[in-house]
Amino acid sequence: MVHIRSSLRRYLAGDNNGKITCDREIPNPYNKFVMIMHPDGKVSFQSEETKRYLGGAEDNITCFAQAISESEKWVLHLAIHPNISMFNQGKKKYLRYDANENAVQCDSELPWGRNCVVTLMFNFKGADVSVHQSQVTDSEIFQIIINNTTRKACFRAISKDYLAVGPQNIIVASPILTDDCWFNIVYNGPKVVIKTGDGKLLTTKSNGQLVVGYYTADTSQEFILKLINRPLLILQSDYGFVAFGSGTQRLDGNRPMYEVSRMTSDEEGYYQFKLVSTDKYWEMDKDGFISGTGEQPINFIIQLVGSNVLILKAPNGKYMITQQSGDFKATGEDVKTATMFLY
């Protein structure tokens, strides 16, 4: 038994006359469907209340068929963000792309770096899998875990140790997660400063050692956080995915399927996005709308606000927002008005 919910968090229903609605915030018996699997991977949905089948084509969808034909068969797209890591329950290991062998291995203890990131690319038979290669060594990668309530962050190494404030204010590796492992990330343009719980700043000494320094920042307290496990960026808001609007070159924020953007970054910490399908960059017009028509890259700032959530600051200094109508534009005045995207 399943419920079918739209991106607007309303439930699909079929009444006794076969009419389809999708306006209820709380499901009732007409919102219940039995999901029937077919050998070709497709599924059918039978109303639990009326015993009729959901079917049709394009914008003519009903729930009135008494038997299953091809019109009552559906292809499911997983309702998850398509950038994932894959874990083998039997081997207790993650999939990893081995560049030397040009093969996918199942031997990674942790899903570390972009070579452990899998992108699901849907077709009519199910989902294809692509894996991305990394040239960054494991010792240079940290997993940033952000508490979605406090917004504080901790940094986990491949050794499974956490960065922590140790004796004499030196940053050490801690095998357990304690209060000394949580920091505040404060954005200053494309760069960040990292604060301890009492407001002091992480800084680098001349020998490269990380220590806790003063309360005010200079260049030795500024860091660039590079997001390296998302070479292909897919953004999803409460209203849907970021993708081309119907019949336009403008990007909308309420689409049922996603558009993939190849993400690059520069030495200053800015990010650029290039659409895979058109080989064009994101381009912004005078009103802040984004289209997929750019010949040259433009710079965005990524700010991490959750373990899998970010906000975007555009070249005009405004934050990207999405609206239920589909508008995807850089008009947010501050962090509070910015749309939070799953990535």
Give the model's pLDDT for residue 121. 63
- Same domain assignment for residues 212 and 151: yes
- Same domain assignment for residues 332 and 270: yes
On whether residue 147 sits in a domain, the answer given is yes
On whether residue 312 sits in a domain, the answer given is yes
Token pair, residue 170, equals 């030196």
Residue 184 CB coordination number (10 Å): 16
Give the model's pLDDT for residue 124. 53
- Residue appearing with tokens 């203890």: 109
Report d(CA 282, CA 316) in Å as an integer.
14
- Same domain assignment for residues 243 and 156: no
Report d(CA 47, CA 62) in Å as an integer.
11
- Same domain assignment for residues 246 and 306: yes
Domain that holds residue 95: 83-131
Report d(CA 120, CA 130) in Å as an integer.
7
- Same domain assignment for residues 210 and 161: yes
- pLDDT tens profile 6-34: 867 789 999 999 999 999 999 999 999 99
Give the model's pLDDT for residue 318. 98
- Same domain assignment for residues 335 and 238: yes
Give the model's pLDDT for residue 327. 96
Token pair, residue 149, equals 């309530």
Give the model's pLDDT for residue 129. 46
Residue 228 CB coordination number (10 Å): 17
Q: Of 221, 253, 286, which marks where a domain is finished?
A: 221
Give the model's pLDDT for residue 322. 96
Render each residue's pLDDT in the chain as its tens digit; 343 residues.
Answer: 899 988 677 899 999 999 999 999 999 999 999 999 998 888 999 999 999 999 987 778 999 999 999 999 998 776 566 777 888 888 888 888 888 888 888 888 888 777 888 777 665 554 444 344 445 567 778 889 999 889 999 999 888 899 999 998 889 999 999 999 999 999 999 999 999 988 999 988 877 788 898 777 677 688 888 888 778 899 999 899 999 998 999 999 999 889 999 999 998 999 999 999 999 999 999 999 999 999 999 999 999 998 789 999 999 999 999 999 999 999 999 999 999 999 8
Residue 289: HSE in the Cβ half-sphere, 13 Å Cα cutoff: 15
On whether residue 319 sits in a domain, the answer given is yes
The pTM of this model reads 0.69
- Same domain assignment for residues 98 and 158: no
Q: How far is CA 191 from CA 224, 227, 228, 260, 266, in A?
A: 5, 13, 16, 25, 12
- Residue appearing with tokens 């990674």: 108
On whether residue 151 sits in a domain, the answer given is yes
On whether residue 53 sits in a domain, the answer given is yes
- Same domain assignment for residues 96 and 164: no
Q: CATH number of the domain that 30 lies in? A: 2.80.10.50
- Same domain assignment for residues 198 and 259: no
- Same domain assignment for residues 327 and 237: yes
- Per the structure, how many domains does the chain have? 4
Per-residue three-class SS string for the chain: CECCECCCCCEEEECCCCCEEEEECCCCHHHCEEEEECCCCCEEEEECCCCCEEEEECCEEEEEECCCCHHHCECCCCCCCCEECCEECCCCEEEEEECCCCEEEEEECCCCCHHHCEEEEEECCEEEEEECCCCCCHHHCCEEEECCCCCCEEEECCCCCEEEECHHHEEEEECCCCHHHCEEEEEECCEEEEECCCCCEEEECCCCCEEECCCCCCHHHCECCCCCCCCEECCEECCEEEEECCCCCEEEEEECCCCCEEEEECCCCCEEEEECCCCCEEEECCCCEEEEEECCCCCEEEEEEECCEEEEECCCCCEEEECCCCCEEEEECCHHHCCCEEC
User: Quick check: 284 and 290 in contact, CB under 8 A?
Assistant: yes
On whether residue 226 sits in a domain, the answer given is no
On whether residue 3 sits in a domain, the answer given is no
- Same domain assignment for residues 98 and 36: no
- Same domain assignment for residues 244 and 317: yes
- pLDDT tens profile 164-196: 999 988 899 999 999 999 999 999 999 999 999
On whether residue 21 sits in a domain, the answer given is yes
